[in-house]
């Protein structure tokens, strides 16, 4: 295992009805709050009225930025930055899922940059200290509620890029499982795929000796795999929702990746697909990941065998063979829950594969397990068809 520093400053407030804490928490950071919202589901379920009421009861002045779409757009971020500047907002409060949180984080990052916010993503300009962000999470998926990452899309250039900074960790995140019971089943399942994929990115690497991280990662995988059918059976099962929610946060709050090389090539490939075709992130990952696994298994067959044995209970002596069976079991799992595992199943053909491979390798070869050139990415995309 490699040396590491672990510092995660986000305060987590977890549990049924912890939404009630929002006013008390938010008022620690000032009087003027920008509430960042998605496209309306939160209003339909009554959560919006409840949160605004709680904020006002705590004496806060609430401004609103509505409309963060899945694959959140830089245009809305620009609008948010302007609103924060004009109204001297002191706290950004994201009420929603990953796209809403990432919009809030990008607003905060762009606020203290004098040029256009897209420069932070496209030209990797340094991110400076900024105003605080709070979160009331409504969907288990990205881990954005407890990390310093944000992913934003630019539809003009068909790019979907990320930033990462210690300055955009949320100060607090409220994780109330009840708020996730209304997530439609397709987004619930895409979230589940995203959670598993975050674990895979940190688990399947070349680092040896990160025993605790591996076992924690395997526990998250097993917990997600055994809880998913319960959620499919009863989407309003608050306990199962809570289990998945906490898995999602732990999958990408840094803890399972400490001391590890990690990979992240599959995420970059997926971001290129969703930049061009505007598909859900988790859906793209369900398609890309198993093929990435087959492409790199020869580098770390023992790791894939460990996954197959410890997560799926597959037996056998030949690491490569056992590892391949583990990948097959993952595909079977995705198919059993009704998530597509091929681009052709979602109407994507070979027309723009080259372009996507180019976009994915914008900053150079991808990943660590096997350094993937544009040609490698193209090969993987062809396997995905
Ligand atoms: O917009 P509304 O109307 O709110 O509807 C949303 C949206 O349609 C709906 N939804 C959310 N909570 C709901 C609900 N519907 C009913 N009841 C609720 N309680 O769910 C849909 C999907 O929302 P979205 O925010 O797109 O999903 P997710 O949380 O999966 O976020 C995906 C985005 O995060 C990025 C992805 O690339 C994608 O852009 N990621 C961010 C990461 C990070 N910041 O660390 C890491 C990830 O790997 C990922 O790349
Ligand atoms: Zn992801």
- Taking the C-alpha atoms of residue 29 and residue 131, their distance in angstroms, rounded to an integer, is 9
Cβ(99) – ligand 1 distance below 6 Å: yes
pLDDT at residue 121, as a whole number: 98
- Taking the C-alpha atoms of residue 360 and residue 376, their distance in angstroms, rounded to an integer, is 11
Burial state string for 187-212 with b = 16 or more CB within 10 A and e = fewer than 16 = bbbbbbbbbbbbbbbbbbbebeebee
pLDDT digits (tens, 9 = 90+) for 299-331: 999 999 999 999 999 999 999 999 999 999 999
Q: How far is the CA of 333 from the centre of ligand 2 (A)?
A: 18
Cβ(98) – ligand 1 distance below 6 Å: yes
Burial of 31 from C-beta contacts in 10 A (0-12 / 13-18 / 19+):
middle
Cβ(148) – ligand 1 distance below 6 Å: no
358: number of CA atoms within 13 Å, CB side? 7
Among the listed residues 76, 96, 93, 105, the one whose alpha carbon sits nearest the alpha carbon of residue 141:
96
H or E element, residue 36 = strand 32-37
Residue having the nearest C-alpha atom to atom 42 of ligand 1: 142
Cβ(188) – ligand 1 distance below 6 Å: no
Q: Find where tokens 């938010």 sit.
A: 26
Instruction: Give the residue, out of 51, 141, 155, with the most ligand 1 atoms within 8 A of its beta carbon, to mutate for a pocket test.
Output: 141
Cβ(141) – ligand 1 distance below 6 Å: yes
- Taking the C-alpha atoms of residue 324 and residue 300, their distance in angstroms, rounded to an integer, is 12
Tell which atom from ligand 1 comes closest to the C-alpha of 100.
Answer: 25
Tell which atom from ligand 1 comes closest to the C-alpha of 282.
Answer: 30
Tell which atom from ligand 1 comes closest to the C-alpha of 271.
Answer: 37
H or E element, residue 175 = strand 172-175
Among all bound ligands, the one having the nearest atom to the CA of 162 is 1
pLDDT at residue 356, as a whole number: 97
Instruction: Give the residue, out of 47, 98, 201, 247, with the most ligand 1 atoms within 8 A of its beta carbon, to mutate for a pocket test.
Output: 98
**Which residues is 150 bridged to in the sheet?**
163
Which two three-digit tokens encode residue 107?
């607003």
Q: How far is the CA of 281 from the centre of ligand 2 (A)?
A: 7
Q: With beta carbons less than 8 A apart as the criterion, state whether 327 and 295 touch.
A: no
Cβ(143) – ligand 1 distance below 6 Å: yes
199: number of CA atoms within 13 Å, CB side? 26
H or E element, residue 11 = strand 11-14
- pTM assigned to the model: 0.98
Instruction: Give the residue, out of 142, 190, 197, 235, with the most ligand 1 atoms within 8 A of its beta carbon, to mutate for a pocket test.
Output: 142
Q: Which pLDDT tens digits describe the chain residue by residue (385 residues)? A: 999 999 999 999 999 999 999 999 999 999 999 999 999 999 999 999 999 999 999 999 999 999 999 999 999 999 999 999 999 999 999 999 999 999 999 999 999 999 999 999 999 999 999 999 999 999 999 999 999 999 999 999 999 999 999 999 999 999 999 999 999 999 999 999 999 999 999 999 999 999 999 999 999 999 999 999 999 999 999 999 999 999 999 999 999 999 999 999 999 999 999 999 999 999 999 999 999 999 999 999 999 999 999 999 999 999 999 999 999 999 999 999 999 999 999 999 999 999 999 999 999 999 999 999 999 999 999 999 9
């Amino acid at each position: 295992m490699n040396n590491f520093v672990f510092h995660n400053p986000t305060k987590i407030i977890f549990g049924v009805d912890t939404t009630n804490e929002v006013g008390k928490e938010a008022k620690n950071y000032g009087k003027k709050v920008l509430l960042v919202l998605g496209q309306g589901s939160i209003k339909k379920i009554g959560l919006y009225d409840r949160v605004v009421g709680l904020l006002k009861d705590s004496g806060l002045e609430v401004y609103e930025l509505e409309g963060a779409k899945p694959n959140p757009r830089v245009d809305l971020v620009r609008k948010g930055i302007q609103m924060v500047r004009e109204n001297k907002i002191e706290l950004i409060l994201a009420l929603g899922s990953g796209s809403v949180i990432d919009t809030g984080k990008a607003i905060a990052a762009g606020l203290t940059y004098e040029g256009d916010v897209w420069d932070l993503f496209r030209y990797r300009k340094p991110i400076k200290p900024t105003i605080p962000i709070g979160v009331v999470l409504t969907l288990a998926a990205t881990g954005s509620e407890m990390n310093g990452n944000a992913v934003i899309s630019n539809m003009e250039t068909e790019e979907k890029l990320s930033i990462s900074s210690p300055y955009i960790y949320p100060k607090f995140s409220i994780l109330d499982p009840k708020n996730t019971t209304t997530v439609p089943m397709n987004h619930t399942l895409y979230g589940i795929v995203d959670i598993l994929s975050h674990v895979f990115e940190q688990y399947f690497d070349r680092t040896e000796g990160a025993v605790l991280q591996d076992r924690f990662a395997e526990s998250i995988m097993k917990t997600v795999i055994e809880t998913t059918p319960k959620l499919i059976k009863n989407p309003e099962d608050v306990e199962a929702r809570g289990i998945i929610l906490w898995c999602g946060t732990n999958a990408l709050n840094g803890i399972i990746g400490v001391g590890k090389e990690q990979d992240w090539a599959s995420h970059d490939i997926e971001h290129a697909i969703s930049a061009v075709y505007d598909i859900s992130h988790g859906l793209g990952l369900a398609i890309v990941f198993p093929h990435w696994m087959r492409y790199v298994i020869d580098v770390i067959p023992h790791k894939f065998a460990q996954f197959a044995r410890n997560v799926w209970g597959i037996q056998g002596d030949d690491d490569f063979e056992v590892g391949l069976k583990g990948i097959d079991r993952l595909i079977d799992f995705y198919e059993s829950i009704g998530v597509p595992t091929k681009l052709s199943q979602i109407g994507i053909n070979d027309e723009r594969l080259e372009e996507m491979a180019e976009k994915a390798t914008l900053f150079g070869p991808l990943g660590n397990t096997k350094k993937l050139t544009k040609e490698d990415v193209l090969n993987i995309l062809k396997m995905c068809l």
